[in-house]
Amino acid sequence: MSRLRLLSAAALLAVAANSHATSFVVTTDAVVNALKATSDATSNVTSSFKDDKIVLAARDDAASYVASEGDIRGVKLESAFEHIRQQAPQLNATDAQLAQAILTL
């Protein structure tokens, strides 16, 4: 009887370990996909607006925005956000993503 219990316990541990591995894979895939979406948005902004005077003028405001985690929103940055969204309405990026993209220019 103890051999049966030992085999049952081993089977349960194997199933539990497998479910954790599957959960890890799903979580990792979700994180990677989110990072890819952010990277794509950043890449789109930087390639399209690297010579744009309105966007380039907002770099200092973007740095303040990122450093303050969104608490400081300068006028030039707000203007750049509006300009970017008018020029690229298909771009679905948050203000934080746009500010980080502006900093990469």
pLDDT digits (tens, 9 = 90+) for 74-99: 999 999 999 998 988 888 889 999 99
Give 85's contacts (C-beta < 8 A, 6+ positions apart): 91
CA 104, chain centre distance (Å): 15
What ranges do the domains of the chain cover? Answer: 2-103
Q: How many angstroms separate the CA atoms of 58 and 75, rounded? A: 8
Which pLDDT band holds residue 51 (cuts at 50, 70, 90)?
confident
pLDDT digits (tens, 9 = 90+) for 35-50: 566 555 555 555 677 7
Would you say the C-alpha torsion 56, 61, 66, 71 has a positive or negative sign?
A: negative
User: DSSP state, 105?
Assistant: -
Q: Which structure tokens are listed for 79?
A: 């203007």
Q: How many angstroms separate the CA atoms of 9 and 38, rounded? A: 44
Q: How many angstroms separate the CA atoms of 65 and 58, rounded? A: 10
